[in-house]
Chain A
Amino acid sequence: MAFPRTKNSVLPGFGLTMGYTVLYLSLIVLLPLGALVIKSATLGWAGFWAAAWNTRVVASYKLTFGTSLIAATINAVFGLMVAWTLVRYTLPGKKFIDALIDLPFALPTAVSGIALTAVYAKNGWIGQYLDAIGIKAAFSPLGIVIALTFIGLPFVVRTLQPAIEEIDRESEEAAASLGATRWQTFWRVIFPSVLPALLTGFALSFARALGEYGSVVFISGNMPMKTEIASLLIITKLEQYDYAGATAIATMMLAASFVILFAINAVQWWTARKYRGVA
């Protein structure tokens, strides 16, 4: 189903749309990103390596990828729950809650960061209770995870909602009539059909988290080796007027994002074919 099964050439407009897509993509995305890569190349191999792969930078990569992965996972689990609840159940104020889901996306990231820090710092609304039981939320890696979860939530929920809406109740009924428990029906019928959407949501949430800067710098504490994310190191390099060094780290991040996005797109394409193409 992912691709039309008949000959493609019947539909017109390939040249026009493809041409426009490639042109616009090149102008807005590829050309500027190319500038970045070329600038980092001025360092030469040794210089590039020294700038983009020393202990401190590696620590920041680990932190950035680790927290992003955790946040995306949390979002996948709870996002599925949220989307399911919003689609299938009735509860008061559902419309309002539904509308609020998008807000993390619309808020300037700096505002999110400030608000989250205010809430999760040890004198904050929630932070004080966490502090009482010995959990340091703001100014620790946990704070980064919280910020990234906040930032990524809309992507999971919004990609899952239509998928859940589209689930054919009849196939659930069929499963049930064949004796499947609700749990079996969930795993064998519902889950596979929302899996592509879940993966997309997870991927988007993860990708967004990798690049996040504004909200994280407020809540992370920015301690070298501990809570310093890669984007902050880029800024630090820039402050030293070291553009090439900054672009070296940026290029590494870019390459990593690209590989991850590519892998996820491939997996998604594959699952989509597997689950839908059997017809």
Chain B
Amino acid sequence: MNPMEKSLGSLLLLAFAATMGCNAQSSVTSSSASVGSSPASVAKASASKPDGGAKPTVHLLNVSYDPTRELYAEFNKEFAKHWQANHGQEIVIDQSHGGSGAQARSVIDGLKADVVTLAIAYDIDQIAELTKGMPTNWQERLPNNSSPYRSTVVFLVRTGNPKGIKDWNDLVKPGIEVITSNPKTSGAGRLAYMAGWGFALQANNNDEAKAKEYISALYKNVPVLDSGARGSTTTFVQRGIGDVLLAWENEALLAIKELGKEKVEMVVPSMSILAEPPVAVVDKYAEANGTTEVAKAYVEYLYTPAGQKIAAKHYYRPTKPEDVDPAVLKQFPELKLFTVKDVFSSWKDANDKHFKEGGVFDSIYAPQPK
């Protein structure tokens, strides 16, 4: 046994000794990382790095939701150029994307975002309320309820619209499969639900019982509830499940471009909900990071012609259409849009009534005693 073990034994010994060494070293690394990473991995004005007299590089962290990846990839470059030109300071903008609610929770739990750009105002309300890091009237600080761009909910159907889906009524017909994401976990899913609810109220003279019936029938036609908007898009386009997808308008336009006109086309219903994705500076974190000035400039820059053009290019409806090339505006069809306030009075009310535990949405799936 000994001869056989000899070489391997020493090999293993070596490996073990090495890992022990690594171990000691790594614990140093990890502890230094835990101390050092607060400035390093989270956005911060690193004043400690003066590069030869010029202003120090400033770091900014923008925590955003899923569908804005492409938008902010371009906007960040543009803003960095603008800031460099006007302030002579280099800026590095870090991006984080994810589901809107999950991103808001990360910020609440300590992801030190200088700027948040989320899907719905409710999520930023939660940040304001739970971190006390910004005033509760944050939405009044910027024009248009702090939404530099807008969107809505539209339908995406298979090319040629084989099931002849034209409006919300068609979604509850028997045999129609509707793909949407879970309103509890997805901002897009929530807006789709609210758009359907708004339509049903309008169509039934504000009869809530009828609206409830409509929304139940709608979700009975849903075979798959993905937890996020892009999951739904993949289910619909790649897996070939369902006849119609309820999607953000910007997501629908992007999906057509990315995944092919020959596969899907957009259908615009008679009315829908006005989505106002809000942006805000998280005062507490920006102050701690020393980035208040640049963070403010960043969100304000979204309202400038340059910002509006980039938003429109990435399929968001600009709030100042006059700044944007009319040819680009053509991609946004006209339809009747109602606001969250019109129908639900506020995000909080909508949440409490519809999406909370035991709310209207849960009652759709509650086992029927009859």
Contacts and interface: CB of A to CB of B under 8 A. Distances in A.
Establish whether A and B are touching in the complex (CB under 8 Å): yes
Contacts, number: 70
Q: Is the interface of B mostly helix, strand, loop or mixed?
A: loop
A122 B222 CA distance: 16
Interface in B186-236: 222-227, 231
B24 interface: no
B223 A121 contact: no
A242 B357 contact: yes
A221 interface: yes
Interface in A133-175: 138-139
Interface residues of B, number: 29
A115 to B, nearest CB: 12
B238 interface: yes
Nearest to A217: B227
Interface in B340-365: 351, 355-357, 362, 365
Contact of B184 (A138, A239, A245): A239
Interface in A7-51: 51
A90 interface: no
B366 interface: yes
B101 interface: yes
Contacts of A235: 185, 227
Chain A, interface size: which category?
20 to 34
A279 interface: no
Give the 4 A-B residue pairs with the shortest CB-CB distance, closest first.
A224-B365, A121-B239, A123-B240, A221-B224
Interface of B: 99, 101-102, 105, 108, 126, 130, 182, 184-185, 222-227, 231, 238-241, 351, 355-357, 362, 365-367
Given A217-B227, A221-B223, 10 more contacts: A51-B357, A56-B365, A56-B366, A118-B238, A123-B239, A217-B226, A221-B224, A222-B227, A225-B365, A240-B356
26 contacts: A55-B366, A56-B362, A56-B366, A121-B239, A121-B241, A122-B240, A124-B239, A139-B223, A139-B241, A221-B225, A222-B226, A223-B222, A223-B224, A223-B225, A224-B365, A232-B227, A235-B227, A236-B182, A237-B357, A239-B99, A239-B101, A240-B351, A241-B105, A241-B126, A241-B130, A242-B357
